[in-house]
Structure 1
Amino acid sequence: MREVGEVRRQRILAVVASRGAVRVSDLATELDVSVVTVRRDVEELAQSGRLRRGHGVVRSLVPVAQPVVHQQVNGAVALVVPERHTYLYETMNGARKALEEAGLRVVLHIAPQVRGAERPIVERALQEPVQGLLIAPRWRTHEEELADSWLAGTGVPTVLMERRPGGALRAMSSVCSDHWYGMQLAVEHLRALGHRRVVLAARDDSPTARALRKAFAEITREGLDLAVAMGSDPGLGLVEVVKARKATAMILHGDVDALILVQQLVDAGVSVPGGVSVVAYDDVVAALGSIPLTAVAPPKTEVGRVAAELLLRKLRGESTTGERIELLPELKVRSSTERLTVS
C-alpha cells in the first residue's frame, strides 16, 4: 500500500540523516524488507532530490550534526508496568536499554492485576532515591484512568508509556503508538484485497482496545457493506458470528485471540485465508501460529526507548513542558490474508 511505502521511505530518510551514510543491505535488515524494496525506495528518494545514491550506499544531502554534550544524569529511575502483559514488557525492555545506556539504574516494579494497584507501588518507589518515573498504567476502564489523576503530581519527572492521557492528566508527557493509524493499515489492507464484510473483535478493557474500537467505527463508516465491532472473548462464539454475518475478514486484538479463532475456524471447516482472512493486532506471537498471521505491529520497543529519551531530557532540564509523541505502527503481511475471490 502506498501509505506503508511512504512510512518506510520516511524511516530511510531519518536513518540516513542521523548517520550520514548507510549501506543498502543494512537498511534492508533494519526495516525487515528485501534489498530490492530498499533499492526501489532509494531510487525514488534520489530522483526527488532527498538523498544521494552511491554503489550500495545511501548518503545524506547535509552533514550530520555533531552530538550535543548533555548534562550528566546519575541515579535511578522507577519503571512501573502491569504484570502478565507481554506487549508492555517489550516496551519496558526498550526503556530499560535506553536508560542503562545513559548510565541510569532501573528499578522495576510490577503492578498486580488489582484496581488501584499502581498508586501504592509508585508511592513506595518514590520513597527511594529515584530521579524520575516511567509508567504504563493498566487502566481497564475509563473510570480508572480518571481516578489516576494523582499521577500528575508525583513530584518527579514522569512519562507515561503507551498511554494517551486525558482529563486531569492531559498535560502529562506521554509516548504511545498511533493506534488509529494502525487500524487504518488493517482495514485498508483488507479493502485492497476486496473484502467488504469485516468484523472487529476487541475487548473494552484497555486503552488500546478502546482506541481500536473507536478508530474502527470512524474508518469503516463508509465503504464497507458490513463493519461490526464486538468483544474478542473466544467464548462469545466468533465462528458463529462470522457465519451469521457472512463476514469474509476478521481483525482481532490481540494475537492470542486471533490464533484461537484461526484454530476454531479450521475446526469448523472454514479455511484461513481462503474462507476468512484474519488480521491480528499486536504482533507479539502472531507469526508463530501454524498459519502465520498478518498483523499490525505497534512499535512496542521503540515506544519504550523514546519514552526513556524524553524522560532523560526532562532530567537534564532540556524539557519542562508536557510532550505527547505518537509513533506509527507497521503492517506485517503473512499467510492469513489473501484476495477475496467471488464465486
Structure 2
Amino acid sequence: MREPVDRRRQRILAAVQARGTARVRDLADELQVSVVTVRRDVEELTREGRLRRGHGVVRSTLPAQEIPPGDLSGGERVAVVVPERHSYLTETLHGARTALEEAGMRMALHIAPQVAGAERPLVERALADGARGLLLAPRWHTLAAEEADYGWLAALELPTVLMERRPRQGSAAHALDSVRSDHWYGAHLAVEHLTGLGHRRILFATREDSPTARTLRAAFTGIAGAHPLLEAWAWALTSPQAGREGPYTADETADLPRLMRRVRATAMVLHSDVDALMVVQRLADDGVRVPEDCSVVAYDDVVAALATSPLTAVSPPKAEVGRTAAQLLVQRLREGRERPARRVELLPRLMVRGSTRRAAGTVARDDDGMADAAARKLAPHE
C-alpha cells in the first residue's frame, strides 16, 4: 500500500532534521520511492519554508525542537561497529538488525580491522555520516587496549550501547549502556554438568585475547577453586597463539594432552568452540578418545554442533544480546539522556551433545544425593 504523501514528507523532514543535511538520492533509497518523488516532495517543503535545497542536497530550516528527538519515524541510521572475522557476533548482528527494523531504523555496519584503536575512526566516520546511535563491540585484545578506549567512549555525544562488553567498574565508561552474556553463569553450567557426571579432575583452556576470554578465565578459576567436589584442576591457553598478555607459567602454555595426563584430567572445558574442535583433533592424534577417555565441553556454540561428533557446548544468547542491545538503544533515543543507564546480563544455556559422558566408575546423583534410577536398577539387591 502506498504511503500517504503527508506521512512521507514528515519522514523526510525527520530524516533531514536528524542529520542536518541529506542527499536526495539517499532519501529516495530510505523511503523506497523514486528520486523524482522525493524531489517533488522537497520542492513543496521548500516552498513552505521548511527545507532549503542545494545541488542534490537538502538542508533543514526548522529549529531542533520542532521535531522531537524521540521521533524515530524517519528511517534513521544506527551505526554498528564490530571486529572483522568474528563469527561469534554474526548471530548478534542478526538480532540487532531485526530489532532496529521493527523500530523503523536502519543498520549501517562498520567492520573494524584487527589493530588497536581501529574502532574510534569508524565511530567518528559514522557520526559524520549522521548516525543517530551506536551499537559497539570493540575487539579489546588486551586489558590495556580496553582501558585506552574508556575516555573517548565516555565522551561520545550520541547514544551508545556496548554489546558483549562491560567496562571496568569505576572507569570513565562505567555508565555506558551495555548488554552481555553472563559468562560466569556459563562457566558454572559447564562445571556443574561435568561434576554431575562424576568428573573430579578438570582442565580448563581458554583464549586470553578478548574480554570474554579473560572473564571466563577468572570465572573458571574462582568456581573450580571453591568447588567441593573437584580434586584437581588446571588452566591453560588453548594454544600458544591464544594469549596477548603474559608472562605465563609453563603449565599455562603446556601442550594440552601432556597437561591432561599430568593433572589426570577426565574432562576439559575449552573456549572457543573453534579452538575446541582443534583441541579434539589434537587429542585424537595423541590417542585420546572423546568422550571415552575425556569429556569435552566447548564454549560459544558457534560451530560446536557441526563437528563429526557434535560437542556439548555452553551457548550464550548471541542473537538475544543483539536484539536487547538494539531495543535498549531505541529506548535511549526515545527517552533521552535522563533515562538511567542499564547494564543487562543474559544467561547462557548448556547444549548437551555427544562429547560428554559419565566418568568411569561413577554413578549419577540427583538433588538429594541419591543414585539415579538407572544406577539403582543396576545395583545388587541388599
User: Where on the TM-score scale, by shorter chain, does this alignment land: which range?
Assistant: 0.7 to 0.9
Q: Could you tell me which amino acid in structure 2 is paired with residue 225 of structure 1?
A: E
Residue 357 (structure 2) aligns with: 338
Q: Could you tell me which amino acid in structure 2 is paired with residue 329 of structure 1?
A: P
Task: Report the Cα distance in structure 1 between the residues aligned to 2:263 and 2:88, rounded to whole angstroms.
Answer: 31
Match of 1:313 among 315, 320, 331: 331
Using the TM superposition, give the Cα deviation of residue 71 of structure 1 relative to its aligned residue in structure 2, in angstroms: 5.1
Residue 298 (structure 2) aligns with: 280
1:323 aligns with 2:327: no
After superposition, what is the alpha-carbon deviation per residue over 1:242-293, rounded to whole angstroms, capped at 9, x for unaligned?
1222110000001111111112212222111010000000000001111100
Using the TM superposition, give the Cα deviation of residue 130 of structure 1 relative to its aligned residue in structure 2, in angstroms: 1.1
Using the TM superposition, give the Cα deviation of residue 234 of structure 1 relative to its aligned residue in structure 2, in angstroms: 6.8
1:254 aligns with 2:292: no
Match of 1:199 among 199, 203, 207: 203
Q: Secondary structure at the match of 1:221?
A: helix
- Say which is worse superposed, 292-301 or 227-236, in terms of deviation: 227-236
Task: Report the Cα distance in structure 1 between the residues aligned to 2:157 and 2:202, rounded to whole angstroms.
Answer: 46
Residues 279/234 of structure 1: CA separation in 2 closer, same or farther (3 Å cut): farther
Residue 226 (structure 1) aligns with: 232
Task: Report the Cα distance in structure 1 between the residues aligned to 2:167 and 2:93, rounded to whole angstroms.
Answer: 18
- Say which is worse superposed, 234-243 or 185-194, in terms of deviation: 234-243
1:118 aligns with 2:137: no
1:271 aligns with 2:289: yes
Alignment of 1:85-96 (within 5 A): 85-96=86-97
Task: Report the Cα distance in structure 1 between the residues aligned to 2:131 and 2:278, rounded to whole angstroms.
Answer: 42
After superposition, what is the alpha-carbon deviation per residue over 1:201-238, rounded to whole angstroms, capped at 9, x for unaligned?
01211000000011111111132111211111177521
After superposition, what is the alpha-carbon deviation per residue over 1:142-194, rounded to whole angstroms, capped at 9, x for unaligned?
11111002111211010000011121111110000000000000000000000
Q: Could you tell me which amino acid in structure 2 is paired with residue 163 of structure 1?
A: R
Using the TM superposition, give the Cα deviation of residue 73 of structure 1 relative to its aligned residue in structure 2, in angstroms: 4.1
Task: Report the Cα distance in structure 2 between the residues aligned to 1:176 and 1:73, rounded to whole angstroms.
Answer: 28
**Between Structure 1 and Structure 2, whose CA radius of gyration is higher?**
2
Q: Secondary structure at the match of 2:104?
A: coil
Task: Report the Cα distance in structure 2 between the residues aligned to 1:264 and 1:81, rounded to whole angstroms.
Answer: 31
Alignment of 1:42-81 (within 5 A): 72-74=72-74, 75-81=76-82
Q: Secondary structure at the match of 2:107?
A: strand
1:84 aligns with 2:85: yes
- Once superposed, what is the RMSD of the aligned Cα atoms? 1.5
Q: Secondary structure at the match of 1:168?
A: coil
Task: Report the Cα distance in structure 1 between the residues aligned to 2:265 and 2:165, rounded to whole angstroms.
Answer: 32
Task: Report the Cα distance in structure 1 between the residues aligned to 2:298 and 2:192, rounded to whole angstroms.
Answer: 14
Q: Secondary structure at the match of 2:146?
A: helix
The answer on whether the counterparts of 1:234 and 1:260 sit within 8 Å (CA) in structure 2 is no
Residue 261 (structure 2) aligns with: 243
Residue 156 (structure 2) aligns with: 154
Q: Secondary structure at the match of 1:130?
A: coil
Residue 131 (structure 1) aligns with: 132
1:298 aligns with 2:344: no
Task: Report the Cα distance in structure 1 between the residues aligned to 2:183 and 2:73, rounded to whole angstroms.
Answer: 33
The answer on whether the counterparts of 2:72 and 2:105 sit within 8 Å (CA) in structure 1 is no
After superposition, what is the alpha-carbon deviation per residue over 1:50-78, rounded to whole angstroms, capped at 9, x for unaligned?
xxxxxxxxxxxxxxxxxxxx954431100
Unmatched tracts of structure 1, length 5 or more: 1-69
Equivalent pairs counted in the alignment come to 274
Task: Report the Cα distance in structure 1 between the residues aligned to 2:200 and 2:211, rounded to whole angstroms.
Answer: 27
- Say which is worse superposed, 110-119 or 259-268, in terms of deviation: 259-268
Task: Report the Cα distance in structure 2 between the residues aligned to 1:88 and 1:196, rounded to whole angstroms.
Answer: 33
- Say which is worse superposed, 189-198 or 239-248, in terms of deviation: 239-248
Residue 183 (structure 1) aligns with: 187
Task: Report the Cα distance in structure 1 between the residues aligned to 2:106 and 2:257, rounded to whole angstroms.
Answer: 48
The answer on whether the counterparts of 1:111 and 1:121 sit within 8 Å (CA) in structure 2 is yes
Using the TM superposition, give the Cα deviation of residue 342 of structure 1 relative to its aligned residue in structure 2, in angstroms: 2.8
Using the TM superposition, give the Cα deviation of residue 320 of structure 1 relative to its aligned residue in structure 2, in angstroms: 2.3
The answer on whether the counterparts of 1:73 and 1:316 sit within 8 Å (CA) in structure 2 is no
Task: Report the Cα distance in structure 2 between the residues aligned to 1:134 and 1:275, rounded to whole angstroms.
Answer: 44
- Say which is worse superposed, 267-276 or 296-305, in terms of deviation: 267-276
The answer on whether the counterparts of 2:77 and 2:130 sit within 8 Å (CA) in structure 1 is yes
Q: Could you tell me which amino acid in structure 2 is paired with residue 156 of structure 1?
A: L
- Say which is worse superposed, 89-98 or 111-120, in terms of deviation: 89-98
The answer on whether the counterparts of 1:250 and 1:277 sit within 8 Å (CA) in structure 2 is yes
Task: Report the Cα distance in structure 2 between the residues aligned to 1:72 and 1:137, rounded to whole angstroms.
Answer: 26
